[in-house]
Amino acid sequence: MALNIQKRAFERMFCRYGSRLGNIFTNTTDSTVTERTPLSSGTNPWKRMACQSFSSHSDPLGVEGRINRSSESQRQRQAKGLPKRLPIPGVDHVIAVASGKGGVGKSTTAVNLAVALSQAQQGIKVGILDADIYGPSIPTLMNLSGQPELNHQKLMIPLVNYGIKCMSMGFLVDEKAAIVWRGLMVMSAVQKLLREVLWGPLDYLIVDMPPGTGDVQLSISQNIPVSGSVIVTTPQDLALMDAHRAVTMFSQVGIPNLGVIENMSVFVCPSCGHHEHIFGQHGAQNLTAETGTEILGEVPLTRSIRELSDSGQPLVIAEPDSLESKVYKSIAAKVISKLTIEESAS
C-alpha cells in the first residue's frame, strides 16, 4: 500500500515537471497534459524526456526494476523524446572532461589537456568551454578577465589566451558573485554558451564539465554530438565511486569513453624525490578494470602545478620540459589517436 502511494506521488511529480518543460521550450500549451496523465501516455516530447530513465535516480523505489532498460527497443522509445543533437558550427570534435566529483583537479587537467592538444600538431585550433555555471574556474586558470564582445550576428567572441579560445560564465558576472539559479536557468545558460558563441573554426572543443551527473551533463550530452569523454579522478576511493558513476552516465547517453586520467597519483617530494601515495594506489587501474576503459595517464601531485594554476599559467606552457608536462602531452596524443580511429571507423 505504501509503495503504491509513493509510486503515484513519484509519477505526479515528473508529469507536472515534464509539462512545464514542454510549455517553456515549445512555447505552447498542451491542454491534454494534466497532473493525472499517466507517465506512458503523455503527448508532450519534453514530458516524455523528463520521465525517461537516463539517471540512476529514475527508479529509486524499484517499481520498474524488472524492466530491461538496456534493450534496444527501450532505447529506441527513449530516443523519440530527446532533442536532436545538432553540431556546433565550425567545431570538429567536442571532448567532455568530467569527474563526477569536485576537488580532483578536473579543471586544471582540462586546461593543460587543451594546451597540449594545441601543441600536438601545427595548426590545431582548440577551445575550452567552462560548463561549471556555479563555480567557473577557467578565468583564473587561463588568466583572463573582462566581458566578451559581440559580432554583427550577436554572437559572443571568445576570449583568447595561450592560443586557446575560452568562454565561461565567469566572464559575464562579477568574480565573487554567487550564481543562485534553478536548474532551468542553468540549462538555458549552458545553451547560450554552446550556441551563441563564435566557436569555429576549431579542431577540438574541450568542455570542462561541472561535478556530478545532473542537468548540465544531460543537456550537453543530449543536445550536441560529443566525440568522447575523459574522466578525471584521484586514487581515493571516494573519488573513484563518483568517477565510476560518470563513466556509467556517459555510457547511458551513448558517448564513448576515451579513458581515465589519474590526477594526484603520487606525491613527489621536491627535496629528496621520495614518492608517497597520499590518496592511495592503483585506484584508476581498478576503475578501468571495472568499467572496461583504459588509463590515459597518471599526473603526480606537485607544488608547481598548484602554484602555476593559481597564477593563471598552464604547466604545459610554463614548464614544457617537466615530467608532468610530458604526461599531459602523452595524454593529448592518445586522445587524438583515439578520435582519429573512431572517425575512420565511422
CA distance 341 to 346: 9
pLDDT band (50, 70, 90) for residue 67: very low
Q: Is residue 77 in some structural domain?
A: no
Integer angstrom CA distances of residue 142 from 23, 249, 296: 39, 29, 23
Q: Which tens digits make up the pLDDT trace of 264-301?
A: 998 888 888 888 888 888 878 889 889 899 999 999 99
Tell me the residue ranges of DSSP E strands in the chain.
Answer: 91-98, 126-130, 159-161, 164-168, 202-208, 228-233, 257-268, 275-276, 295-301
Residues 192, 271, single domain; the answer is: yes
What per-residue confidence (pLDDT) applies to 47?
A: 45
pLDDT band (50, 70, 90) for residue 342: confident
Residues 162, 250, single domain; the answer is: yes
Query: Residue type at 265?
Result: S
CA distance 25 to 83: 11
CATH number for the domain harbouring residue 163: 3.40.50.300
Q: What is the DSSP letter of 90?
A: T
Integer angstrom CA distances of residue 257 from 89, 93, 171, 226: 23, 14, 30, 10
Residue with cell 548540465: 216
Q: Which tens digits make up the pLDDT trace of 43-57?
A: 444 444 444 444 444
Domain count, the chain: 2
Q: Is residue 60 in some structural domain?
A: no
Report the b/e string of 110-132 with b at 16+ CB within 10 A: bbbbbbbbbbbeeeebbbbbbbb
Q: Which tens digits make up the pLDDT trace of 227-253?
A: 999 999 999 989 999 999 999 999 999
C-alpha cell at 255: 558517448
Residue 3 scores a pLDDT above 80: no
Residues 213, 137, single domain; the answer is: yes
Which of 51-55, 183-187, 252-256 shows the lowest per-residue confidence on average (mean pLDDT)?
A: 51-55
Query: Residue type at 334?
Result: K
Pairing of strands 159-161, 202-208: unpaired
Residues 101, 49, single domain; the answer is: no
CA distance 277 to 110: 23
Q: Is residue 102 in some structural domain?
A: yes
Residue 69 scores a pLDDT above 70: no
Residues 102, 216, single domain; the answer is: yes
Longest dimension (CA), the chain: 72
CA distance 235 to 262: 7
Which of 101-105, 227-231, 258-262 shows the lowest per-residue confidence on average (mean pLDDT)?
A: 101-105
Q: Is residue 195 in some structural domain?
A: yes
Q: Is residue 329 in some structural domain?
A: yes
- H helices of 134-236, where? 138-141, 183-195, 215-223
Average pLDDT over the chain, rounded to an integer:
81
What per-residue confidence (pLDDT) applies to 103?
A: 87
Residue 328 scores a pLDDT above 90: yes
Percent of the chain at pLDDT above 70?
76
Residue with cell 567557473: 136
What per-residue confidence (pLDDT) applies to 61?
A: 41
Residues 37, 125, single domain; the answer is: no
C-alpha cell at 98: 568530467
Q: Which tens digits make up the pLDDT trace of 111-150?
A: 999 999 999 989 999 999 999 999 999 999 999 999 999 9
CA distance 90 to 228: 18
Of the candidates 215, 224, 296, the residue with the CA atom closest to the CA atom of residue 249: 215
Q: Is residue 81 in some structural domain?
A: no
CA distance 124 to 277: 36
Residues 234, 308, single domain; the answer is: yes
Domain of residue 274: give its range: 91-345
Residues 123, 271, single domain; the answer is: yes
C-alpha cell at 36: 493525472
Residues 36, 121, single domain; the answer is: no
Q: Which tens digits make up the pLDDT trace of 204-226?
A: 999 999 988 888 888 898 899 99
Residues 102, 247, single domain; the answer is: yes
Percent of the chain at pLDDT above 90?
54
- How many residues would you count in the chain? 346
Residues 95, 190, single domain; the answer is: yes
For 331, the 3-state DSSP assignment is helix
Residues 264, 321, single domain; the answer is: yes
Q: Is residue 140 in some structural domain?
A: yes
For 156, the 3-state DSSP assignment is strand
CB 261 within 8 A of CB 231: yes
Q: Is residue 85 in some structural domain?
A: no
CB 199 within 8 A of CB 119: no
Measure CA 294 to chain center: 18
Residue with cell 601543441: 119
Integer angstrom CA distances of residue 219 from 6, 62, 246, 281, 305: 28, 25, 15, 34, 31
